[in-house]
Structure 1
């Protein structure tokens, strides 16, 4: 079903963007059609909106999947490029278009097992009944050489592209 099968007045109404519930009700009440004709056109309009919602939902999912794919691909390419430069023992690579410099960034705090994280690194009140791990506190403790069960630091080395 599409909007072209709607009556002229309903097509004009469907094209408006100022349709809050009151305006919609008042406008529909003002259309001079038989009750069955009005109900028929509204049902067609609803079917058209259902199709639009379904299409937009698929499009949203498609865009979300593409975004995830591209983020993962970028991360994999960055890992590959960093490893390739590091394996060759180079400090800097000059290409025709770029200068590539590997560098160390702040280490990542990796939580291996949330159940093993001591209570001193948890915040109970933040999520009302659920524990939240204070990742920053865990990072500081690990950086200071303390042992935090269930967590470790991981190097974070990437290439700067200039």
Structure 2
């Protein structure tokens, strides 16, 4: 019998008691029997929900820990890539072949670096709930050679590893 059937059984017993079709002693015994079974089921479901919540909390915490570890490795790779690209550029070669890799630096789209949003001309500010620079417009104008206080282009070179 599921919880909904228990609830329905309680309603039937109550209706019979109101109609006088069941004795007071039988009513108490029947209701106590049904209530205990229903409460046990509800208690078990509540315990199951608590266990699931503990598991969800555990996995959420682990996900945050894994995300932090992944971020560490990504940051480390960023600096290693800068080192690798600078070393190849310093060699004057366009490509270096090692035993395990072919290393070729290449240019990517320059990155817009905003030193101070407050120093940018208003034309380069996007307004919404949060004030933030319009990097697309900044990029276009900086690429054209326009000098903009508070922003500049930064070369974005990386090495392709094959």
Normalising by the residue count of structure 1, what TM-score does the alignment of the two structures yield? 0.72
Equivalence for 2:130? 130
Q: 1:61, 1:87 → 2: CA distance?
A: 39
Q: 2:76, 2:43 → 1: CA distance?
A: 49
Structure 2 spans left out of the alignment, 5+ residues: 7-33
**Shift in Å at residue 114 of structure 1?**
0.8
Secondary structure at the counterpart of residue 112 of structure 2: strand
Secondary structure at the counterpart of residue 130 of structure 1: coil
What is the aligned counterpart of 1:120 among 98, 118, 123?
123
Equivalence for 1:29? 4
Q: 2:85, 2:110 → 1: CA distance?
A: 15
**Shift in Å at residue 64 of structure 1?**
1.1
Secondary structure at the counterpart of residue 34 of structure 1: helix
Instruction: Give the aligned CA root-mean-square deviation in angstroms.
Output: 2.2
Larger Rg over CA atoms: 2
Equivalence for 2:143? 143
- Relative distance call for 1:65 and 1:30 in structure 2 (3 A) is farther
Secondary structure at the counterpart of residue 51 of structure 2: helix
Equivalence for 2:153? 153
Q: Alignment length, in residue pairs? A: 134
Q: 1:153, 1:62 → 2: CA distance?
A: 34
Instruction: Indicate yes or no: 2:37 matched with 1:69.
Output: no
Q: 1:69, 1:103 → 2: CA distance?
A: 24
Q: 2:46, 2:52 → 1: CA distance?
A: 10
- Relative distance call for 1:150 and 1:30 in structure 2 (3 A) is farther
Structure 1 spans left out of the alignment, 5+ residues: 1-8, 10-26
Where is the helix percentage greater, Structure 1 or Structure 2? 2
Normalising by the residue count of structure 2, what TM-score does the alignment of the two structures yield? 0.72
